[in-house]
Chain A
Amino acid sequence: MSVSQHGQMSDEKKDSVYRAFSPRRIGAITAITFTGLIRQKAFYVVLIFALILIGNSIFMARLSFQREFQMLKDISLGAISIFTSLLAIVATARLLSQDIEDRTIYTILAKPVPRFEYLTGKLAGVLLLLALSTLVMSAMFLAVLFLREQTLLNETLQQMAGAPREQIAEISRTLRGSAFNSNLVPGIAVIYLKACLLAALTLFVSTFASSNLFTIVVMTFVYFIGHLQATAREYWLQTSSGGWMTNTFLAFVAFFFPDLQLFNLVDDIVVGTAIPLALFNKTVLLGGSYTAIYLLLACAVFYGKEL
């Protein structure tokens, strides 16, 4: 690899080094993107805000333990959802434009790196950052939940000091059931999936955007329309005849403005409704498909981009 004395390497040797697809190259770009993002102050600001919000939910008004756990979950999962979405958009919006502005992209794409590997590596770096943030926020949320559960359990046990053992056991079981249930993990997984989808869509927008600001503005609209479009669609279908033109238009809107309400399972988790496995699988498939399609679209646009 060092500059050889003859300065020449046989074509056979060169050709043997190059592979049309290389996980190593993608891994190198992923690692560098993740390192760059993790060293940005904005990441810590967003994370600290989220942690403060989640942590603060421990000081909420004392209500019945069911209601208190519901509020704690509502606030914490809502915070995780909003902050991962925000991070997905803000972190991804500047990835391409920054590399183009700094001309770093020239040095990378002048190496034997296909453009789709570059974009895949960049997106994977953001997804890794989102996974880390989701983990940190979830850990904080679960710690707060556990702390409240233990405090309430102790208080309840003290209040019921003279009560029969079966009654205490029943109350303890109900309290524990209100705090932790099996829906929490799939619920958090779906929040992460929504952030992945938003990151992929932001990457796609940034391939033809003229600036970071444009990407962020477009994605803000997409975020709000995505959360409102289900209501609008229902209204539209109720008031119009539902011909092929309507369906085509709705499909178009659904493609570019994904129905983000489908990824909102927080309400189910808060009230303790079990998330059916079929619904979870369907949501994961939908989120994964949207993410993959947006990445492919980003690659298609980026392939013809003049740098």
Chain B
Amino acid sequence: MKPPKPISTKSKKKPAELALIAVVISWIFLLILMPLYGIAKEVFHNGLHACFASLNEPAAVHAFYLTLWLTVGAVAVNTTLGIILALVLVRQEFKGKLLLDGLIDLPFAVSPVVAGFMLITLFGPHGWIGSLFEARDIKIIYAFPGMMIATLFVTFPFVVREVVPVLREFGVDQEEAAFVLGASKWQTFWQVTLPSIKWGLIYGVTLTMARSIGEFGAVLVVSGAIINKTQSATLYVHQKFTDFDYGGAFAASIVLAMLSFFTLIGMQYIQKKKV
């Protein structure tokens, strides 16, 4: 067992160390905190009430609802599939597993615009899959389904990536014990496996939510940003901005920023539980 790591107490730091701490704190302060201040200033300047007032227009309400549904969908689908995929990756051996593992990270590495473009190519009216639906007059691109797929794409890796290490560490011992005691696979999953990955799972879901709410590039490309029809909250902000309606853009941004804050707090809380 390692001896406890002694942490420098305030009294014992050398000037060079203090300088380093000061520099790092200033960097974080300037880079991260300042922009937040910009938004906060706006809120206090105009008052929250005024902000929400400008958000009463139907386009705004619709945009936020759309974001809500996209988030719900992304969480539902990617959590389920994320867990299944994690189980497959950790518990099964097969050829090509390594490749699969790498592919999962692709949505992280790809630019959102490129992602959107790939999806248009596939699901657009002339795409391999899109054309099949086009024949039945079902729109995927420039409609909700397309936006849903885009959101699924960019949020795909989160749950898997968070559950896999937890599952790996958990090991099969407890599951085997359950089998021996007579539990079925399903019972074992619900009562033994799932509780063990609980916090990793919740963290992954939180990240998924944050990303769905915040996704812009892919959804923009795929949706055509048709006001009141295919405009999510982030698209709404963008449109207001390009229309020089700064008030509207800020108002919506503030709401999104507040959502992010709660997400961030949630993330910190869950991270502690994960350990």
State yes or no: do A and B come from one complex: no
